[in-house]
Amino acid sequence: MDVGFLKENLAELVSTGDLIRKYSKGNAVFNAYHWTVLKLVFLKLYLQEVYTPIIKKYYDNMFYIDPFAGSGLNKFSHMEDVFVPGSPLVAWGFAKKSFDKLFLVEKDEKNCEALEERMGLVAHPENFEVIPGDANEKCELIIREIEDTPQSHFFAFIDPITFEAKWETVRRMLASGVRGDFIILLQTRRIAQNVGH
Ligand SMILES: C[S@@+](CC[C@H](N)C(=O)[O-])C[C@H]1O[C@@H](n2cnc3c(N)ncnc32)[C@H](O)[C@@H]1O
């Protein structure tokens, strides 16, 4: 990937983040680091260029699952006034073919409120569901709803802070009769800090 290409994609994220900040009333933001933007650029390009154009050709229903959805906006901790959209807004805003529905789980109440409001700026209410609570409890209902929808495919973006995603939750999605693609992020530095290294 050349640097110009990366910069263009980064600029698109930053200008979208700026718009969300301007139009959103909520204050909740996630503190972003340099790797945050790389994961979001990767998510943007994968959904835009690979996943959605291919999957929508073969499946009638295409779902996005974000079990650790955040507040919809990330702020760079080491830069003044630089914002990038959170993963749900990237998934909705940059997909070449729109998802039929986004399932967005978030444990923190303030993040849920902000996410609901921010998603409402860009998507119709029938296209997303913000689900308050623990991802490990809520994923069962989500996967069942997808299993009950014929001709479905899902994309799951699993992005916990450290160890919050239980293997049983991931296993349930992997073992479903419905086909899915996954991006699973493991923040090794934070995990190492947590286990005392
Ligand atoms: C790394 S952030 C997600 C950032 C988001 N994916 C993005 O790119 O904008 C992790 C989020 O998971 C939430 N969280 C932590 N434990 C959770 C749990 N057990 N269930 C649901 N959400 C959880 C946190 O409140 C935080 O907002």
2 Cα: distance to centroid of ligand 1 (angstroms): 30
Q: Quick check: CB of 87 below 6 Å from ligand 1?
A: yes
What is residue 190's predicted lDDT score, i.e. its pLDDT? 67
Q: Quick check: CB of 70 below 6 Å from ligand 1?
A: yes
Note whether 31 and 75 are within 8 A (CB). yes
| All domains in the chain, ordered by first residue | 3-194 (3.40.50)
Per-residue 3-state assignment (H helix, E strand, C coil) for 107-123: CCHHHHHHHHHHHHHHC
In the predicted structure, residue 71 carries a pLDDT above the cut 90: yes
- Any idea what DSSP says for residue 41? H
Q: Quick check: CB of 33 below 6 Å from ligand 1?
A: no
Q: Quick check: CB of 106 below 6 Å from ligand 1?
A: yes
Residue 101 dihedral angles phi and psi, to the nearest 5°: -160, 145
Which pair of tokens denotes residue 32?
A: 């972003």
**Residue from 66, 107, 115 to probe ligand 1 pocket by mutation (most atoms less than 8 Å from CB):** 107
Q: Quick check: CB of 93 below 6 Å from ligand 1?
A: no
Q: Quick check: CB of 48 below 6 Å from ligand 1?
A: no
pLDDT tens per residue, range 6-55 = 889 999 999 999 999 999 998 888 888 878 888 999 999 999 999 999 99
What is residue 197's predicted lDDT score, i.e. its pLDDT? 60
Shortest-distance Cα residue to atom 18 of ligand 1: 134
Cβ-count burial 126-157 (b if 16+ within 10 Å, e if not): eebebbbeebbebbeebbeebeeeeebbbbbb
